[in-house]
Amino acid sequence: MSRPAPSAPAPATAGNSPAKRPTSGLVGARLPKWAPYGAAVVGWGIAVGLKLLLGWTGWYTTFFTGAVLFIAVLTAWSFSVEGRRRAKDRFASTLIYTSFVCAIVPLVLILGYIAVKGLPLFSPDFFLKSMIGVTSREEGGGIYAALVGTLIIVGIATVIALPIGIFTAIYLVEYGRGKFARTVTFFVDVMTGVPSIVAGLFVYTFLLLGFGMRPFGAAGAIALAILMVPVSVRASEEMLKLVPRDLREASYALGVPKWRTILKVVLPTAMSGLITASLLAVARVAGETAPLILLVGYTSRINYNPFDGDMATLPMMVWDQLGKRAGTTSSDLTEARAWGAALTLVLLVLILNVGARLIAKLFQPKAR
Amino acid sequence: MAKRIDVDDVNVYYGDFMAVEGASINIAPLSVTALIGPSGCGKSTFIRILNRMHEVIPEGRVSGKVMLDGEDLYGPGVDPVNVRRTVGMVFQKANPFPTMSIYDNVVAGYKIAGTRKNKSETDDIVERSLRGVNLWEEVKQRLTRPGAGLSGGQQQRLCIARAIAVEPSVLLMDEPCSALDPISTLAIEDLISELKATYTIVIVTHNMQQAARVSDRTAFFNLAGVGQPGRLVEYDDTTKIFSNPNEKATEDYISGRFG
């Protein structure tokens, strides 16, 4: 921190440095290139010193104190050398980068931890076997039933929700005017914030209690569809709005009716965006647990029929294997299986996201 | 096939706002009519009422009469879709459909509307339309490539080809050259003189030399002030408008002494 900055402009200090370059009005004093790293070392160094001195337990406090100190040190240093404007710039950009790191670290830790805990479980058997007859003290068993259940239930939810979502978005963008459209938008916004357990409770009350039914897969799918519709509407709406008005007008001017313009011009142009929007909506509900507790239940046997009987799903399997569902005993073995199921769920969502991007690329209008 | 247009005392509104007031104009078939005037004076609005494209803008409506060969465009039961099939339009910004090839763009009017044509028919239409806009030689080797890959001038000619492919009677052009370089502009102007043999053409332009070069008749629009409706000030032969206009406002505008 004591190192003099190259080409300090202040006339008072100009006499001090012998090898002074002629100062130009355009050249300002700058901190050396390594300044951020230096400030980081100093900041976290002080934090570690404080930890040892004050006997803080754990590293979280130290980490965040270091981050705050890093910003403070760099800004103060910059202010003393570079002046006010650059100091503000340093402060803002450092704050942004530090926030980014603070956001990404827990994410990486979670994903890394799940991968480390779950990967050893992965084997062909793990994917191809169900949990039927496997006790908590036995090895073996797998996620087959849960994976099939998740795919079936999310699949049904998708089939219900996407058409509703996309058609609502088309209505809002192409036809919706005035009070009714505003009401629809308002309720879509409200529905985006509905907690998943509330959607579950709604279906539970009307379907299971109302008709006196036992839990079954499709009931869960309906609740997931309720959660999916607003996400799909919102995302699809944005994508349709991106289609330039020019293109619609060009089509109208050719004497094409509105519905054919939407079908043949608007939808193909927005196709890549709509696919992304849809797959992200699917990913959004794939890991939902709360409605499934009420509506689908859990079973260790393989059930392909979503209209009859409990079904296993990945989130419910995690819950079950941790011994929380039926109050059964858990062991290292069941805990490991829970991590394996969790990793599969994460990978499923990851595949959906990556797949969305790839398909979107494929459908993008090309320039040549 | 070209048709005449008679506009009688038309007012155009967007919601409560009156955009054009009391415009009357008679356009002969097989002529080029230029609409000139300052920004916001209602030229583009006026050209849009000739094929009911103003209805695409929310709350756009019209009072008065617009007759196409004696048929009222706003009569009861008239379908705007049919009006637009008869009166084609080219826009300021070239807007080929990004998802379609050059070939598909030309026959988009049929393809999107779902009119069935066999391959040899569409081949003929594509070649005839592209030859009509002097683009055939430039693109015949790459008809299956996306239309968005062409240069700006080529894209605009592609859009004109798309408009004439559906064989309209009237062609409206809303500042078709304002985004083009002088050479592409010249190509479009030459094209307008050729298309005049087949279509009635109405063109909006900010370029007064262009109006003088391409048009037979010129209409000057002006507005009294911000928030006021635009009015048709003078409508006469182009030579008359540019040499000896009746109105002082017209003379001020074309000589650059405006305002």
Of A255, A264, A365, the CB nearest to B81: A255
Give chain A positions within 8 Å (CB) of B98: 247, 269, 365
Given this model, what pLDDT does residue A364 score? 78
Of A177, A261, A269, the CB nearest to B98: A269
- Chain A residue set in contact with B, beta carbons under 8 Å: 177, 244, 246-257, 260-261, 264-265, 268-269, 271, 365-368
A253·B149 Cβ contact <8 A: no
Other C-beta atoms within 10 Å of A185: how many? 16
Going by pLDDT thresholds of 50, 70 and 90, the confidence category of residue B101 is very high
Given this model, what pLDDT does residue A16 score? 45
- The nearest alpha carbon in chain B to A362 belongs to B99
Given this model, what pLDDT does residue B55 score? 86
In the predicted structure, residue A353 carries a pLDDT above the cut 90 = no
Give chain B positions within 8 Å (CB) of A257: 81, 113
Going by pLDDT thresholds of 50, 70 and 90, the confidence category of residue A222 is very high
**B157 close to B179: Cβ distance less than 8 angstroms:** no
In the predicted structure, residue B93 carries a pLDDT above the cut 80 = yes
Joined together, the tokens standing for residue B76 give 């009861």
Please state the rounded mean pLDDT for residues A298-305. 87
Going by pLDDT thresholds of 50, 70 and 90, the confidence category of residue A263 is very high
B146·A365 Cβ contact <8 A: yes
- Cα separation, B215 vs B213, whole angstroms: 6
R_g (Cα) of chain B, nearest Å: 18
Given this model, what pLDDT does residue B1 score? 67
Burial B208-226 (b: 16+ CB within 10 A, else e): bebbbbbbbbbbbbbbeee
- The nearest alpha carbon in chain A to B115 belongs to A256
Write out pLDDT tens, residues B25-69: 999 999 999 999 888 888 888 999 998 998 888 788 888 889 998
Distance (Å) from the alpha carbon of A206 to chain B's nearest alpha carbon: 41
What are residue B200's DSSP bridge partners?
Answer: B170
Of B56, B98, B109, the CB nearest to A255: B109
- The nearest alpha carbon in chain A to B148 belongs to A367
B146·A367 Cβ contact <8 A: yes
Other C-beta atoms within 10 Å of A163: how many? 12
Distance (Å) from the alpha carbon of B87 to chain A's nearest alpha carbon: 8
**B219 close to B235: Cβ distance less than 8 angstroms:** yes
In the predicted structure, residue A272 carries a pLDDT above the cut 70 = yes
- Cα separation, A222 vs A215, whole angstroms: 12
Given this model, what pLDDT does residue B258 score? 64
Give chain A positions within 8 Å (CB) of B84: 252-255
Given this model, what pLDDT does residue A367 score? 59
Going by pLDDT thresholds of 50, 70 and 90, the confidence category of residue A23 is low
Residue B98, chain A, CB below 8 Å: the answer is yes
Please state the rounded mean pLDDT for residues A323-339. 79
Number of H helices and number of E strands within chain B? 11, 10
> Per this entry, what is the length of chain B?
259
Residue B108, chain A, CB below 8 Å: the answer is yes
pLDDT above 90 coverage of chain A, percent: 40
Please state the rounded mean pLDDT for residues A283-310. 88
Give chain A positions within 8 Å (CB) of B166: 254-255
Given this model, what pLDDT does residue A203 score? 93
Of A254, A256, A365, the CB nearest to B98: A365
Per-state percent for chain B, helix, strand, coil, to nearest 5: 40, 25, 35
A368·B146 Cβ contact <8 A: yes
| Apex A144 CA angle, A139 and A145, nearest 5 | 105
Q: Which of A11-15, A127-131, B229-233 has the lowest mean pLDDT?
A: A11-15
Given this model, what pLDDT does residue A130 score? 85
| C-alpha A183: how far from chain center | 28
Give chain A positions within 8 Å (CB) of B109: 254-256
Give all strands of the β-sheet with B87-90 in edge-to-edge order.
B71-72, B60-68, B5-14, B17-27, B230-237, B217-223, B32-36, B200-204, B170-174, B87-90
Question: Mean pLDDT across chain A, nearest whole number?
Answer: 86
In the predicted structure, residue A111 carries a pLDDT above the cut 70 = yes
Q: In Å, what is the CA distance from A5 to each residue of A9, A41, A81, B166?
A: 10, 18, 7, 71
A250·B95 Cβ contact <8 A: yes
Q: Which of A50-59, A236-245, A327-336, B76-85 has the lowest mean pLDDT?
A: A327-336
Joined together, the tokens standing for residue A5 give 């900055």
Closest CA to A224 of A319, A301, A316, A131: A316
Phi-psi region of B64 (alpha: psi -120 to 50; beta: other; left: phi over 0): left
pLDDT above 90 coverage of chain B, percent: 41
B98·A261 Cβ contact <8 A: no
Mutate to test the interface with A, among B107, B112, B156, B202 (most CBs of A within 10 A): B112
Please state the rounded mean pLDDT for residues A332-338. 87
Write out pLDDT tens, residues A115-173: 999 998 888 888 888 888 787 777 888 889 999 999 999 999 999 999 999 999 999 99
Q: Exposed, middle or buried, A201 (CB in 10 Å: 0-12/13-18/19+)? A: middle
- Amino acid in the structure at residue A180: F
Closest CA to A71 of A99, A51, A50: A99
Given this model, what pLDDT does residue B70 score? 87
Residues of B numbered 21-80 whose beta carbons fall under 8 angstroms of chain A's beta carbons: which are they? 51, 53, 56, 58
Higher pLDDT, A329 or A295: A295
- Cα separation, A21 vs A26, whole angstroms: 13
Q: Which residue has the tokens 């202010």?
A: A79
Higher pLDDT, B115 or A218: A218
Please state the rounded mean pLDDT for residues B61-86. 89
Of A246, A251, A367, the CB nearest to B149: A367
- The nearest alpha carbon in chain B to A251 belongs to B109
Of A244, A247, A253, the CB nearest to B51: A253
Of A257, A260, A265, the CB nearest to B97: A265
What are residue B231's DSSP bridge partners?
Answer: B21, B222
pLDDT above 70 coverage of chain B, percent: 99
In the predicted structure, residue A11 carries a pLDDT above the cut 50 = no
Spell out the alpha helix ranges (H) of A129-195.
Answer: 144-170, 178-192
In the predicted structure, residue A1 carries a pLDDT above the cut 50 = no
Note the pTM of the prediction, 2 decimals: 0.81
Of A252, A268, A366, the CB nearest to B84: A252
- Quick one: three-class SS letters along chain A? CCCCCCCCCCHHHHCCCCCCCCCCCCCCCCCCCCHHHHHHHHHHHHHHHHHHHHCCCCCHHHHHHHHHHHHHHHHHHHHHHHCHHHHHHHHHHHHHHHHHHHHHHHHHHHHHHHHHHHHHHCCHHHHHCCCCCCCCCCCCCCCHHHHHHHHHHHHHHHHHHHHHHHHHHHHHHHHCCHHHHHHHHHHHHHHHCCCHHHHHHHHHHHHHHHHCCCCCHHHHHHHHHHHHHHHHHHHHHHHHHCCCHHHHHHHHHCCCCHHHHHHHHHHHHHHHHHHHHHHHHHHHHHCCCHHHHHHCCCCCCCCCCCCCCCCCCHHHHHHHHCCCCCCCCCCHHHHHHHHHHHHHHHHHHHHHHHHHHHHHHHHCCCCC
User: In a 3-state reduction of DSSP, which class is residue B12?
Assistant: strand
A252·B146 Cβ contact <8 A: no
- Residue B204: what are its φ and ψ, rounded to 5°? -95, 135
Distance (Å) from the alpha carbon of B175 to chain A's nearest alpha carbon: 14
Give chain A positions within 8 Å (CB) of B83: 255
Distance (Å) from the alpha carbon of B155 to chain A's nearest alpha carbon: 12
Joined together, the tokens standing for residue B8 give 């009688």
User: Across the A/B interface, how many CB contacts are shorter than 8 Å?
Assistant: 85
Closest CA to B35 of B27, B24, B43, B26: B43
In the predicted structure, residue A338 carries a pLDDT above the cut 60 = yes
Give chain A positions within 8 Å (CB) of B107: none
A254·B149 Cβ contact <8 A: no
- Cα separation, A202 vs A181, whole angstroms: 25
What are residue B36's DSSP bridge partners?
Answer: B220
Which residues neighbour A330 within 8 Å (Cβ) at sequence distance 6 or greater? A136, A321, A322, A323
In the predicted structure, residue A182 carries a pLDDT above the cut 90 = yes
Given this model, what pLDDT does residue A8 score? 42
- Cα separation, A320 vs A338, whole angstroms: 8
Give chain B positions within 8 Å (CB) of A177: 58
* Predicted complex ipTM: 0.88
Please state the rounded mean pLDDT for residues A107-115. 92
**A248 close to B108: Cβ distance less than 8 angstroms:** no
